[in-house]
Chains A and B, each alone.
Chain A
Amino acid sequence: MAGNYDPSFAKEVFDNVDSGEEIKMCMQCGICAGSCPLRHEMDYPPRQIFTLIRAGRRDEVMNSKAIKLCTSCYRCKVRCPRGIPVIDVMHGLAHYGIKKGIIPRKGTAAFGGEFWKMIYNIGRIDEKTLPLKYNLLEGLVPGIKSTIEMAPMGIQMFLHHRMKLLPERKIKGIKELRKMLDKAKEMGKGGAN
């Protein structure tokens, strides 16, 4: 860790990353990290990414799995007590990484696309089928393999009633939601698709 401290990194993020400057408002409460459904997969959940940015840890941030994994579920942004668009910053960092050639395109878009489809189909996020679909997108064999690797988490979530065995049902008003989503897509803001 020592040695790769870059004092200009925070400013670089504030100036170049979408919503990057909003990080200044962060009070380090941790609810974004605690709410993130992928917190156990991420090397640095959102709050820690922000600390690392402030600490000038360019390599850890730009090479982090976290900014690639973010699935646009919006939990962090909805809950942030400082109104920081956490997800926009996470995406901003990923885009910035892609632009700078640090991150290859693949991973993020696939997971984001699955999220979009799920919201569109049932109106909510099903934490069980999502990782499955995501892993299958990697290709059938490695997909099944990584799904099995994640199984302990799934079983634990199930045991704690965090995840239902049957796929989540559609929410009420799914038609209205779809209309909104279609409209949003039309307006060019259609998530990762």
Chain B
Amino acid sequence: MADVQTTNQSILVVGGGISGITTALEAAEAGYDVVLLEKNPYLGGRVTQLHQYFPKLCPPSCGLEINFKRLKANPRIRFFTMAEVAGISGKEGDYDVKVKISPRYVNEKCTGCGKCAEACTAEVDNPFNYGMDKIKAAYLPHGFAFPMRYVLDPSIVGTDDGKKCKDACQYDAIDLDMKETSFDLKAGAIVWATGWNPYDAAKVEYYGFGENKNVITNVMMERMASMNGPTGGKIVRPSDGKEIKNIAFIQCAGSRDENHLAYCSGICCVASLKQTRYIREQYPDCEVTVFFIDIRALDRLEDFYTMVKEDQKVKFIKSKIATITEDGATGNLVLEGENTNTGEQIKATFDMVVLATGMAPNSIKSVCSADVSCDEYGFIANDPAKAGIYGAGCARRPTDVASSVQDATSSALRAIQSIARR
């Protein structure tokens, strides 16, 4: 690690999702040295976990792989996975940053051959699929992971399984003695692109997420629809693996709500419309009901809404559902609420429910005490009076990929200006 040469002309980018990668590339291609830190063992962020992304419904790999190529080709970018910021001091034009790297137990000699996973018997919850399935404790995070390098779960280090993995590796790529390391770097400007986390659906207690087996969240639906997801792309009920006939979406599950996220998460309406398409493509007979307060699909995304509305099997009902009750015998779900257009009390049964949960920021405030302005929710405010540290993408506001990329480009420019001002 000691070979990280940085000066106060360097730019630090924290978070290797689509926003952070974009900022890093834009700044490096403009001639600046960049260090990119990513907490996960792979780059790409939440976009890697989507099945398809709007507006064009391309698979996430297509947008990301071009970026990975640009990244590999650019000697000005140094990136680190399993890396986090431990502390920031200094001011615009002159920051000192402490970086912490967690042990991966697999070094750069890894060829991705998979022999370690074959030898390993222990399994752990698969974070990539939001815990819907298990993976071997020696694993590749997902099919097109970049870097294409395995990881060992810390739980098998010092066990028989750890030893088995090491013995299986013919490339001397497994190092069970790896420890957490840290190093210091200098930077003239910092771009914070740590993105978002799905809001914890269990907190909206009247929907019984976690207890009602067939209540899932929108991020889980993305994984289910995905070919490399827990069900190989089949959208089925978690309780019994049955095909679905009648599914409901509940919008604003924890957003636009002072008890949870007070803001509109911006993308979950279109995400549900998109997921309605996944379902309708897989099941020509499946009925879909979307319960909403209002549908937010602006600009070019409105066409998408119009298209979904034309589908006879899709119903939109204006209601914030008040309760979900599971029928113990069938696993079906009874939804109750008020239809606010007609004033009628709704009581309807579905075989699966998707909660359209919102996006909560991975706030800089939870990581370090750097002098930067955030709004009351933890999104970075890009306050002109506090130049030097800038937010990009969903660390700044909940938004889609296209807007994140735009925002990340402007953050690269801001960071360059911070250095030029010195």
- A-side residues, CB < 8 A to B, are 27-31, 33-35, 39-40, 45, 47-48, 78-83, 160-162
User: 9 closest Cβ contacts across the A-B interface?
Assistant: A34-B322, A34-B337, A81-B257, A30-B338, A29-B320, A33-B338, A30-B340, A35-B322, A31-B320
A83 touches B340 (CB 8 A): no
Q: Does B323 contact A (CB under 8 A)?
A: yes
Evaluate contact between B325 and A161: CB separation under 8 angstroms: yes
Chain B residues near A33 (CB-CB < 8 A): 322, 337-338, 345
Chain B interface mostly helix, strand, loop or mixed?
A: loop
Shortest distance in angstroms between A161's beta carbon and chain B's nearest beta carbon? 6
CA distance A166 to B206 in the complex (A): 22
Complex Cα distance, B343 from A34, in Å, reads 10
- Contact (Cβ within 8 A) B334 A160: yes
Contact status B323-A27, CB under 8 Å: no
Query: Is chain A's binding surface mostly helix, strand, loop or mixed?
Result: loop
Knowing A29-B320, A30-B320, A81-B257, say if A39 contacts B340 (CB, 8 Å): no
How far does the Cβ of A88 sit from chain B's closest Cβ, in whole Å? 16
Q: Does B241 touch A at the CB level, under 8 Å?
A: no
Contacts of B320 in A (CB 8 A): 29-31, 34, 81
Q: CB < 8 Å: which of A27, A45, A82, A161 contacts B338?
A: A45
List 10 A–B pairs whose Cβ atoms lie within 8 Å, in order of A's numbering.
A27-B293, A29-B252, A30-B319, A33-B345, A34-B320, A39-B345, A45-B345, A81-B252, A160-B325, A162-B325
- B220 part of interface (Cβ distance < 8 Å): no
Task: Let me know if B206 and A29 touch, CB within 8 A.
Answer: no
- Is B336 positioned at the interface, with any CB of A under 8 Å from its CB? yes
List B residues 344-396 near A (Cβ within 8 Å). Answer: 345-346
Question: A68 vs B383: C-alpha distance in the bound complex, in angstroms?
Answer: 51
Given A33-B338, A35-B322, A79-B322, 8 more contacts at CB 8 Å?
Answer: A29-B293, A30-B338, A31-B338, A34-B321, A81-B256, A160-B334, A161-B325, A161-B327
Question: Contacts A34-B320, A160-B325; is A29 near B258 (CB within 8 Å)?
Answer: no
User: Hey, which chain A residues are within 8 Å of B322, CB to CB?
Assistant: 30-31, 33-35, 79
A79 near B258 with CB under 8 A, answer no
